[in-house]
């Protein structure tokens, strides 16, 4: 007998325990309908007047609320909640009639349980409107994308504002080179705290005034945030962000290497004897033919331009794209074609080898500056054999790069080991060097010296913030750029319950 009871009561217990708030609700029955499963449920709370919290109440009436709940095995579930109304018998109380509260299960006037609404919001937050709508339909929680997006954007209950002590600030692009916004992050708690639709010193300063208590601001080296920080939180210490320092350094190194490569190729071409230039290789001859034809087109464009034709007319006459016409008309001189290919052998080198009676050597004279930069800035023990070979063949081709590498590694070591003692010395060395881009980098460091020194010694970096900016880009692209600011912000800020 006992055994039989156990078997029968178990499934009902399981159903009871799966109700949104098992302590508050009592299960009356289960129905299976075409649309799904219906759970008939009633509150077992002792009624209390919400105004005077008196329990002296009498029954008034009953009404039924139909609430969507989480599905069972992909089948939709509806909760039919029988809610009662009561009269308050306290004479002093202004409230005459009140309905049972169903705190924790559903909010007032809602047509779905809280846990259903939260799941909808969470899935919408992660996936965005339309993909979430598709997934939810398969799960048995059909909802339109508008409903989902409305849920995602719905402001959550105001949290007790935690004070930010260490603030990271950086910009993100609405549209590159055109329009930027600002992202703010709590670097201690490691979460995004706000998103501003614009990038300006005033908006950042205003934000800081509204959120006092910021002690450290980690920013890039763009002057806007520095100025905003000085205005909005004059007492805060500003730290240049290590991530940007490293990025700026690699950019400077990359440009320097580009310059050095061009110089090295020019030197090589000069070495090749001018006599041999009479016998052009096929490749060289084709190159010259193409260049000549391009030069003639360029001259025709310039002539028509001086005669006062519009850019479109010139484009039609010379059969050149309108954009090219515009570029040529504004160029200071005949723009030589850039060699894009990394693998093409330098004609000068081939000629030189032929003259010496050698087989044309397969030495490279074009290297990807970005790749070489990355290899030069990485400690050798972390490089693979192929990478080392690539790096060494570059250094053989362009030995001046050894000096660039030494400078860059010294800077990197200062960042790595958090030592700023030799910073000024390094800056002087860079500024005095013959590498114009590194010198420029050194000069900008000198202008912002205090913040750069702190960047080396302080533990704060905007690396996590950059990660969130990448996430923002992904969200923006997922929504094909149609996301308004409110929705973008809702999906970038952390989801609160």
CB of 50 to Zn ion, least distance (A): 8
Which of 15, 24, 30, 51 touches Zn ion (CB under 5 A)? 51
> Considering only 72-80, 83-91, 136-144, 401-409, which stretch makes contact with Zn ion by CB under 5 A?
83-91
Q: Is 95 in the site for Zn ion (CB under 5 A)?
A: yes
Find the part of the chain contacting Zn ion (CB under 5 A) among 44-52, 216-224, 321-329, 342-350. Answer: 44-52
Q: Using the minimum distance from each CB to Zn ion, give the nearer residue, 96 or 327.
A: 96
Among 24, 52, 99, 454, binds Zn ion (CB under 5 A): 52
Note whether 89 binds Zn ion by CB under 5 A: no
Residue 90 Cβ vs Zn ion, minimum distance, rounded to whole Å: 5
Residue from 30, 93, 139, 493 that binds Zn ion (CB under 5 A)? 93
Q: Is 88 in the site for Zn ion (CB under 5 A)?
A: yes
Backbone angles phi, psi at 75, to 5 degrees: -100, 130
Selected range binding Zn ion among 41-49, 352-360, 417-425, 486-494, rule: CB under 5 A: 41-49
Which H or E element spans position 228? helix 223-232
Binding segment (CB under 5 A) for Zn ion, from list 45-53, 131-139, 239-247, 354-362: 45-53
Surface-to-core class of residue 47, CB atoms within 10 Å of its CB (0-12 exposed, 13-18 middle, 19+ buried): buried
When asked if residue 404 is in the footprint of Zn ion (CB under 5 A), the reply is: no
Quote the strand ranges of 151-268, DSSP E: 166-175, 179-186, 191-196, 216-219, 237-240
Per CB under 5 A, the segment of 91-99, 144-152, 278-286, 452-460 that binds Zn ion is: 91-99
Task: Enter the tokens of residue 468.
Answer: 């969130």
- How far is it, in rounded angstroms, from Cα 421 to Cα 457? 10
| Residue 96 lies near Zn ion (rule: CB under 5 A) | no
Shortest distance in whole angstroms from residue 243 CB to Zn ion:
60
CB of residue 99 to Zn ion, shortest distance in Å: 13
Q: How far is the CB of 96 from Zn ion (least distance, A)?
A: 8
**Residue-by-residue DSSP string for 342-379:** SSPPPHHHHHHHHHTTPPPP-------HHHHHHHHHS-
In whole angstroms, the minimum distance from the beta carbon of 25 to Zn ion comes to: 24
Q: Is 90 in the site for Zn ion (CB under 5 A)?
A: yes
Least distance CB 52 / Zn ion (angstroms): 4
List all residues 6 or more positions away from 174 whose beta carbon is below 8 Å from its beta carbon. 180, 181
Q: Which is nearer to Zn ion, 53 or 189 (CB)?
A: 53
Contacts by residues 372-380 (CB-CB < 8 Å, ≥ 24 positions apart): 372/257, 372/401, 373/250, 373/253, 373/254, 373/257, 374/250, 376/253, 376/257, 376/401, 376/404, 376/405, 376/408, 376/409, 377/249, 377/250, 377/253, 377/408, 377/409, 377/412
What kind and span of H or E run contains 55? Answer: none
Q: Is 74 helix (H, G, I), strand (E, B) or coil?
A: coil
Least distance to Zn ion from the beta carbon of 197, Å? 47
Name the residue nearer to Zn ion (CB basis): 86 or 225: 86
For position 57 contacting Zn ion by CB under 5 A, the verdict is no
Of the candidate spans 1-9, 52-60, 425-433, 474-482, the one that interacts with Zn ion by CB under 5 A turns out to be 52-60
Bridge partners (DSSP) listed for residue 189: none
**229, 237 in Cβ contact below 8 A?**
no
Q: How far is the CB of 85 from Zn ion (least distance, A)?
A: 13
- The values of phi and psi at residue 104, to 5°, are 90, -20
Quick check: 485 and 478 in contact, CB under 8 A? no
Member of 49, 193, 401, 487 binding Zn ion (CB under 5 A):
49
- Minimum CB distance to Zn ion smaller for 86 or for 411: 86
In this complex, which beta carbon is closest to Zn ion, that of residue 48 or of residue 82?
48
Residue that is written with structure tokens 């708030």 in the block: 21
Per CB under 5 A, the segment of 85-93, 225-233, 277-285, 476-484 that binds Zn ion is 85-93
Say what the alpha-carbon torsion angle 295, 297, 299, 300 is, to the nearest 10 degrees.
Answer: 170
By DSSP bridging, strand 191-196 and strand 36-43 are: unpaired
Number of shown-chain residues binding Zn ion (CB under 5 A): 7
Which part of the chain contacts Zn ion (CB under 5 A), choosing from 43-51, 283-291, 374-382, 438-446? 43-51
What's the distance, CA 111 to chain centroid?
Answer: 36
Give the footprint of Zn ion on this chain (CB under 5 A).
Answer: 49, 51-52, 88, 90, 93, 95
């Amino acid at each position: 007998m006992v055994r039989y009871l156990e078997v029968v009561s178990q499934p009902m217990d399981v159903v009871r325990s799966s109700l949104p708030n098992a302590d508050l609700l009592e299960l009356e029955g289960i129905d299976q309908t075409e649309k799904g499963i219906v759970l008939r449920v009633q509150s077992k709370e002792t009624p209390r007047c919400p105004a005077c919290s008196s329990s002296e109440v009498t029954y008034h009436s009953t009404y039924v609320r139909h609430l969507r709940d989480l599905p069972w095995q992909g089948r939709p579930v509806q909760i039919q909640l029988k809610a009662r109304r009561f009269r308050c018998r306290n004479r002093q109380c202004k409230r005459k009639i009140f309905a049972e509260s169903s705190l924790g299960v559903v909010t007032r006037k809602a047509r779905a349980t809280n846990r259903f609404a939260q799941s909808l919001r969470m899935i919408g937050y992660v996936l965005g409107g339309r993909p979430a709508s598709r997934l939810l339909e398969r799960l048995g929680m059909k909802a339109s994308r508008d409903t989902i997006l409305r849920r995602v954007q719905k402001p959550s209950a105001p949290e007790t504002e935690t004070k930010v002590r260490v603030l990271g600030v950086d910009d993100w692009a609405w549209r590159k080179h055109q329009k930027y916004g600002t992202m703010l992050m709590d670097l201690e708690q490691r979460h995004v705290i706000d998103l501003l639709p614009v990038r300006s010193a005033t908006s950042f300063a205003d934000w800081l005034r509204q959120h006092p208590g910021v002690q450290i601001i980690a920013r890039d080296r763009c002057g806007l945030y520095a100025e905003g920080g000085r205005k909005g939180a004059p007492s805060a210490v500003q730290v240049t962000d290590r991530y940007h320092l490293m990025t700026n350094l690699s950019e400077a190194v990359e440009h320097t290497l580009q310059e050095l490569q061009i110089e090295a190729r020019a030197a090589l071409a000069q070495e090749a004897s001018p006599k041999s230039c009479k016998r052009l290789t096929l490749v060289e001859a084709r190159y010259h033919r193409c260049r000549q034809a391009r030069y003639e087109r360029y001259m025709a464009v310039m002539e028509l331009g001086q005669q006062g034709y519009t850019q479109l007319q010139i484009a039609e006459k010379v059969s050149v794209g309108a954009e090219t016409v515009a570029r040529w008309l504004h160029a200071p001189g005949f723009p030589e074609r850039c060699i894009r290919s990394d693998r093409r052998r330098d004609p000068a080198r081939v000629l030189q080898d032929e003259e010496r009676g050698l087989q044309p050597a397969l030495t490279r004279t074009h290297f990807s500056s970005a790749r070489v930069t990355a290899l030069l800035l990485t400690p050798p023990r972390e490089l693979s054999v192929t990478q080392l070979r690539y790096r060494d063949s570059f250094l053989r081709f362009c030995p001046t790069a050894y000096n660039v590498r030494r400078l860059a590694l010294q800077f990197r070591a200062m960042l790595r080991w958090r030592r700023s003692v030799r910073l000024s010395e390094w800056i002087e060395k860079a500024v005095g060097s013959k590498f114009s881009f590194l010198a420029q980098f050194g000069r900008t460091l000198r202008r912002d010296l205090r913040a750069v020194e702190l960047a080396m010694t302080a533990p704060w970096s905007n690396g996590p913030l950059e990660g969130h900016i990448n996430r923002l880009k992904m969200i923006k692209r997922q929504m094909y750029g149609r996301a308004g600011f409110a929705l973008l912000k809702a999906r970038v800020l952390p989801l609160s319950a």
